[in-house]
Amino acid sequence: MAWVGSVLSANELELWTRMVNHDRRHSIAVARRVQHMLAGTADAEDPRWISAALLHDVGKLDASLGVLGRVGATLAGAAAGHDMAEAWSERRGITRRFGLYLRHAELGETRLRVVGARAEAAAWAGAHHDPAAWDELGFPAGVVTALDAADDD
Ligand SMILES: [Fe+2]
Ligand SMILES: [Fe+2]
């Protein structure tokens, strides 16, 4: 995907490429929406925000769950409470994969920091399901609004 390659650094692209098709498509759709929402603002051409959109779900790599498995993980998390995710991720088999999936934000941030991705992309991956953490990011308010509104999962 030429556009993605023009936005991401080589190390970011290497991670992005390892996501499954479904997640790559989602990430491009989110990034295009962010670009559209920021059009005409000073942040529109800033690659930090587009890379944050492209990489926000990269932590889903760790769970390697298909669509049905994700539905299961989401339901299990809702039933047992998201706080169980850490304990589950220490277990084995499908329980472990559910736990990893529910922790994809934190795992994505870690992966991005390890490969030396842009700090903003790593920070957004870690915070994207945690509105209480958004003020501390120090991103322009319009950027956070766009990143959140563009993400439909
Ligand atoms: Fe996510
Ligand atoms: Fe997402």
pLDDT per residue as tens digits for the range 50-74: 999 999 999 999 887 887 888 889 8
Cα 56 to Cα 93, 117, 139, 148: the distances in Å are 25, 12, 15, 10
Please report which confidence band the pLDDT of residue 30 belongs to, taking 50, 70 and 90 as the band edges. Answer: very high
Q: At 45, is the pLDDT very low, low, confident or very high (cuts 50, 70, 90)? A: confident
Confirm whether pTM is higher than 0.75.
Answer: yes
Ligand whose nearest atom lies closest to the CA of 109: 1
Query: What pLDDT, on a 0 to 100 scale, did the predictor assign at position 144?
Result: 98
Using one digit for the tens of pLDDT, what is the confidence trace for 109-119? 999 999 999 99
Rounded to the nearest angstrom, the distance between the alpha carbon of 129 and the centre of ligand 1 is 6
Distance 130 CA to ligand 2 centre (A): 13
Closest listed ligand to the CA of 104: 1
In whole angstroms, give the CA distance from residue 51 to residue 49.
Answer: 5
